[in-house]
Amino acid sequence: SISSAQAQLKTIAHQLEQAYPDVNKERSLVLVSAEKAKSQGFGGPGNENTTQNISLLLLVAAGSILLIACANVANLLLARATTRQREMAIRVALGAGRGRVIRQLLTESVLLAAIGGIGGILLAYILGDVLLSLLPATPVPLSLDPKPDGRVLISALLLTLFSGIIFGLAPALQTTRGDLTQGLRERAVAEGGFHRWTLRNLLVIAQIAVSLLLLIGSALFLKSFHRAQQIDPGFRTQNLAIVSIDPALAGYDQKRGGQIARDIVEQVRRDPQVRSADLGQFVPLGFGGEGRTIVAEGRDENAPSNRKIANISAVTPGYFETMGIPILRGRNLTEHNAGENAAKVAVISETMAKTFWPGENAVGRRFHYYNREGSFEVIGVARDVKAATLGETPTPMLYTPFHELPDGGITIFVHTAGAPGPMVPEVHRVVRNVDNHISVTYEKTVTQHLAFALWPSWMGAILLGSLGLLALVLASVGVYGVMAYSVSQRTRELGIRMALGAQGSEVLRLVLRQGMLLAAIGLIIGLIAAFSSTRLASTLLYGVNPSDPLIFSGVTVLLAAAAFAACYFPARRALKIDPVIALRFE
């Protein structure tokens, strides 16, 4: 059973922690279904929950848009409630109870929400394939289907019903409050003045606060994507084709698989468009390689502090030139190091050199695998590369001659003279010619490969940017609608002020002050919420402070300007009020 298997994994994890505390401390093993594993995305270091994190982030963003839209609709219904009080009074006079009137208004609200919900579901089906086409190729298959299934449809319908009831209830209660028959005896005159804490104003404040939060998140991801594009991964980013094979899937052992890979590379090198081609086990910013516990020669391997883990990749001598990874100190691997009887040598990364021999020259030093015989001599130090994610801190990396290759996949790296795109199918063809039993597990250009490393930031930037723009538009429309309604309701009051000698500029400031006060309160609440919540998305940001003061201030100014514009035009309408007509206004 799953529970017993999980219990066994827990025991194994504890045993590993006891045996290798330096690399297994506080680590656990978790059993998940194959379906869940596929939906989690590529589980490289620091990137285990990328898909879930982005999905959760987009869910919050979409929920924010829903709140803003519902607040707009609620304000519209509140405005209609004032104009329908006489209609409701007539219904009550004809025998309708207050509960029946509320049910009618809620029915109208739910019907409006249902129309929007059905439209949203249809749009989701249309955009599903579009969103899926935006996903770049991944090193491992991801089970992603953005089209709504039965659970999503039921959830959407329930959410639609809930939204229609909740955001239609307040207008319904306001319409039916007090003595409705009063509306039959006289037409109500709108109240003057500015009532700060009315439901309508509170909804505007909430709209602005949520919009600011969403806009700040959008700006952070846009900046993160820009920064991610500028990060140097440590290897060649142009004119490079990557094709991975796994001879073990065809039943070949490590020795036979390695020989087949060499034969493939020899044929690929004959192509006039190929500058160089080499083999490696580890694919930077992707997959492959394995971790080993390393101990520097001359140190007590029983002391946990002397044991460090490093990723290992077996490579052919020209690997570093093909990948564009410079050797900073010492020398490269050569054909003399490639034989099985050759001395054990290795090239290590900068981080590994600093980890094992801080402040010293690592070239000429020796190390061995924990609990293994035989040591390696360090002959060179190569520049660090990004192993799994662009935002990661460099980890120790060890490159051994290709004959040290353990069981597992092998990758062919091809540096081309021109565009690498045509070379990918050509390498695939060569693989088939050499041995048609060999499976090609991954084949991309380096540009396509880098797209996967960038896709969390890119997807967040595109989708959150779009939602942020939509939030800005909805919030502006909401503020404009409330201010326009407020001006229409205060026509008599404003007319009296102008009749008593108030200047147009004074009336303009009065109306603007009302709207901008609401905006200021919303901005303050939004800033507090943003400071508290943006840190939750920090693992998805590259080189960006989740509390970036430039973004916070810039977005605040942008939303304040939009709110000012939304208040200004209704305020200008107030200047056109004729005091004589306003005094007769009912």
pLDDT digits (tens, 9 = 90+) for 505-516: 787 888 888 889
Q: Provide the residue ranges of all domains of the chain, joining segments of one domain with +.
A: 2-31, 37-188, 191-233+448-586, 247-438
pLDDT attached to residue 267: 96
| Predicted pLDDT of residue 578 | 65
The CA R_g of the chain, rounded to the nearest whole Å, is 33
pLDDT for position 550 = 94
Q: Largest Cα–Cα distance of the chain, in whole Å?
A: 108
* Amino acid 67: pLDDT: 85
| CA angle (268, 233, 283) in 5-degree steps | 45
pTM of the full predicted structure? 0.71
CA-wise closest residue to 521 among 145, 188, 208, 167 = 208
pLDDT score of 361: 94
Residue 556: which of 537, 530, 517, 535 has the closest Cα? 530
Three-class secondary structure assignment of 146-210: CCCCHHHHHHHHHHHHHHHHHHHHHHHHHHCCCCCCHHHHCCCCCCCCCCCCCHHHHHHHHHHHH
Q: What is the pLDDT of residues 167-221, one digit of tens each?
A: 788 777 766 665 555 554 544 444 444 455 577 788 888 889 999 999 998 899 8
What was the pLDDT predicted at 262? Answer: 94
Q: How far apart are CA 378 and CA 426, in angstroms?
A: 36
pLDDT at position 187 is 47
State the Cα–Cα distance between residues 397 and 385, nearest whole angstrom.
9
**Which residues in the chain show pLDDT less than 70?**
1, 20-27, 32-52, 81-85, 134-145, 174-197, 287-289, 406, 491, 574, 577-586
Measured CA to CA, the distance from residue 291 to residue 312 in angstroms comes to 6
List Cβ neighbours of 24 (8 Å cut-off, separation of 6 or more): 13, 16, 17
| pLDDT of 561 | 94
Q: Output the pLDDT for position 34.
A: 58
Please give the Cα distance from 175 to 92 (Å, whole number): 12
Q: State how far the alpha carbon of 408 is from the alpha carbons of 33, 131, 274, 458, in Å.
A: 23, 34, 26, 31
pLDDT digits (tens, 9 = 90+) for 225-260: 888 888 899 999 999 999 999 998 888 888 899 999
Q: What is the pLDDT of residue 20?
A: 62
Q: Contact, 396 vs 309, CB < 8 A?
A: yes
For CA atoms 417, 420, 422, 427, the dihedral sign is positive
Rounded to whole angstroms, the Cα distance separating 37 from 147 reads: 20
CA distance 355 to 307: 10
How many beta carbons lie within 10 A of that of residue 12, not counting itself?
11
